[in-house]
Amino acid sequence: MQGIARAHTNIALIKYWGKRDKELFLPMNSSLSLTLDAFYTDTKVIFAANLSQDEFYLNGAPNDALPISRFLNLFRQDMPTFYHARVDSYNFVPTAAGLASSASAFAALAGAANIASQLNLDPTTLSTYARRGSGSATRSLFGGFVEWSKGTSSATSCAHYLDDASWNIGMIIIVVNTTKKTISSRSGMEHTVQTSPFYSAWVESATNDLEHMKHAIANKDFQKLGELTEYNGMKMHGTMLGSNPPFCYFEPESIVAQQQVRQLREKGIPAYITMDAGPNVKILCRASDMEQIKQHLLTVFDEKNIIATLPGKAMRELTEIEWQQSCHNFKEHNLWQ
Amino acid sequence: MQGIARAHTNIALIKYWGKRDKELFLPMNSSLSLTLDAFYTDTKVIFAANLSQDEFYLNGAPNDALPISRFLNLFRQDMPTFYHARVDSYNFVPTAAGLASSASAFAALAGAANIASQLNLDPTTLSTYARRGSGSATRSLFGGFVEWSKGTSSATSCAHYLDDASWNIGMIIIVVNTTKKTISSRSGMEHTVQTSPFYSAWVESATNDLEHMKHAIANKDFQKLGELTEYNGMKMHGTMLGSNPPFCYFEPESIVAQQQVRQLREKGIPAYITMDAGPNVKILCRASDMEQIKQHLLTVFDEKNIIATLPGKAMRELTEIEWQQSCHNFKEHNLWQ
């Protein structure tokens, strides 16, 4: 009873910001993301009768198995026999990039557990399981542009595929160094929901933004897509400045990056920013402009802090050979540590 | 028919952000400010029959008289005879400090015109005249903590004195260099009113903040005053991040300054930030802590960019001797150019 899967991380263009149910990870508003090719998690799950407890190895080293155990229980409650599991996971996500590897991690774990458990859930149902590990993992079951509908229950708060984003779309991540621990997205969103007078307007207008963005994607209207991305992302950060006490994820370099993107637009290169619960700046751009944008950014940022990526594909099963190759790649060439 | 007056600038602790009447400068919400001792404008108005047009000299040099003419018409409409005026003004406000010298400028002009016109308006009525020159000028008629009530008409949208702020209150301004022209507060607030989904919540919660701040001032509760200052100011900036397209007055150094103030609080020194329609950061603090705060800031900022000030007094008439002294001081020792 074994399963291996790869899932990519994603960046929300319409942000998930605020839960209506903390236990079930039910969001206040629907969101929309772009899955990214460059960052992914490979995970193998083995359910076996001879294991006396759950074991979890992250990047080859033993790690806390408790969140994994809780997550696997979602599958085990529907399995005829209870088995403990051994989980091996390799994160091809730069730790320092603040890219929330929990999205790809729980999507890959859901994918591998689905195979190992022989439950054979469809991807949409599986996305409701991934959601229980981490909200943004919901969207990592699919490739390209993905919508996470907030739904009306745990069973209906699921992701679905919108578009493969194969129309000259790219993303550049500027990694902004920060010495201090930032506020977790979990506590940031809780504080915002509880104290920001802007929160209800956020939910209402994000819902509106999502509809407009779906139209922009259907029409392959890149400018509209970019404008909505920047509008929605900055608006989320506005809700935080409105919290009491206020908080802000911007670092000095985040502002520098924002200014660089405005300069790019003034030069006629369409590029739009988005930011999550951290100081990094993500640039939505044309894939064909990525090299030129990178050159522009190199005047201000180090090459190692500029990461370009194309859209990524859906969660998929890996063969044992691919898995061995992946383990080998991680150990031999791991650039991310 | 001559009048000379001095008025100080002020920094809003509950911000004025948005007009309900652009012609009359009627604000959407009431605001509350601290008048500052260090920055002021001295202005002399002479109405004379032998002048064939209005003349305006700023800091000793001829300047555009049109805004002055329009403003003086408010007084001239109630004067028995129409006279042209000569206006001389010296701005003791660092141009680069982004401190909106229009507040002290129109308050001093109103004060001088009030004397020269012999209309002898009381300060509260005079504040409604100052308002027609620049919204924030309304509050510069009074010293210490000042409220500008939004009112229900042009006659009732006026300032009144709350407290002399003589209970160990100080303010430090960190001047943040910016190479680019920032968005004017006028167009910033117009864009916010028109496009930000947060705007109605801003008006409602700023009204609430004002009531709490008046209580804090009445109780001389510095911590509460500071917390409300930071909350309200950042919330205003949140409305801008929520605008479409979003905009932001933060420069990289603004974030550095914000981080420094958080460090100060962690060290047990009460200090709270506020920012206006520009990148500068103002720190509300205890007057007795100003030297220590300045030393802390000197590790990051240049001395010339750190300006400390005590609370300022109300607009007042100057004698001819004081005026001569002021002109002399400006020409001999002007540090602000």
Chain B stretch 193-212, residues whose beta carbon is closer than 8 A to a beta carbon of chain A:
196-198, 200-202, 204-205
State the pLDDT at residue A330: 87
Does residue A81 surpass a pLDDT of 90?
Answer: yes
The residue assigned the tokens 């599958």 is A75
Count of other CB atoms within 10 angstroms of residue B308: 17
Each residue's pLDDT expressed in tens, for chain B with a length of 337 residues:
999 999 999 999 999 999 999 999 999 999 999 999 999 999 999 999 999 999 999 999 999 999 999 999 999 999 999 999 999 999 998 765 667 689 999 999 999 999 999 999 999 999 999 999 999 999 999 999 999 999 999 999 999 999 999 999 999 999 987 766 678 889 999 999 999 999 999 999 999 999 999 999 999 999 999 999 999 999 999 999 999 999 999 999 999 999 999 999 999 999 999 999 999 999 999 999 999 999 999 999 999 899 999 999 999 999 999 999 999 988 876 655 4
State the pLDDT at residue B257: 97
State the pLDDT at residue B93: 83
Distance CA B54, CA B73 (A): 11
Interface contact A234-B250, CB threshold 8 A: no
Give B34 to chain A, closest Cα distance, Å. Answer: 21
Give the closest of A200, A242, A253 to B235, CB-based.
Answer: A242
**Ramachandran region, residue B25 (left: φ > 0; alpha: ψ -120 to 50; beta: rest):** left
State the pLDDT at residue A95: 61
b/e sequence B43-58, b meaning 16+ C-beta within 10 Å: bbbbbeeeeeebbbeb
Interface contact A238-B242, CB threshold 8 A: yes
Specify the 3-state DSSP secondary structure of A305: helix
Rg of chain B, C-alpha, whole Å? 20
Report DSSP letters for A34-103, one per residue: EEEEEEEEEEEEEEETT-SS-EEEETTEE---HHHHHHHHHHHTTSSS--EEEEEEEEES-GGGT--THH
ipTM of the complex as predicted: 0.93
Q: Per-residue pLDDT tens for A305-336?
A: 999 999 999 999 999 999 999 999 888 766 55
Interface contact A201-B205, CB threshold 8 A: no
State the pLDDT at residue A20: 96
Does residue A179 surpass a pLDDT of 70?
Answer: no
State the pLDDT at residue A96: 56
Query: Going by C-beta distance under 8 Å and a sequence separation of 6 or more, which residues neighbour residue B103?
Result: B7, B9, B10, B134, B136, B137, B139, B140
Best mutation target among A241, A259, A274 (most B Cβ atoms within 10 Å) is: A241
Mean pLDDT of chain A: 95
State the pLDDT at residue B142: 98
State the pLDDT at residue B120: 96
Specify the 3-state DSSP secondary structure of B211: helix
Identify the band that residue A248 occupies on the pLDDT scale cut at 50, 70 and 90: very high
**Ramachandran region, residue B113 (left: φ > 0; alpha: ψ -120 to 50; beta: rest):** alpha
B240 and A CB contact within 8 Å: yes
Interface contact B239-A242, CB threshold 8 A: yes
Instruction: With beta carbons less than 8 A apart as the criterion, state whether A145 and A217 touch.
Output: yes
State the pLDDT at residue A181: 67
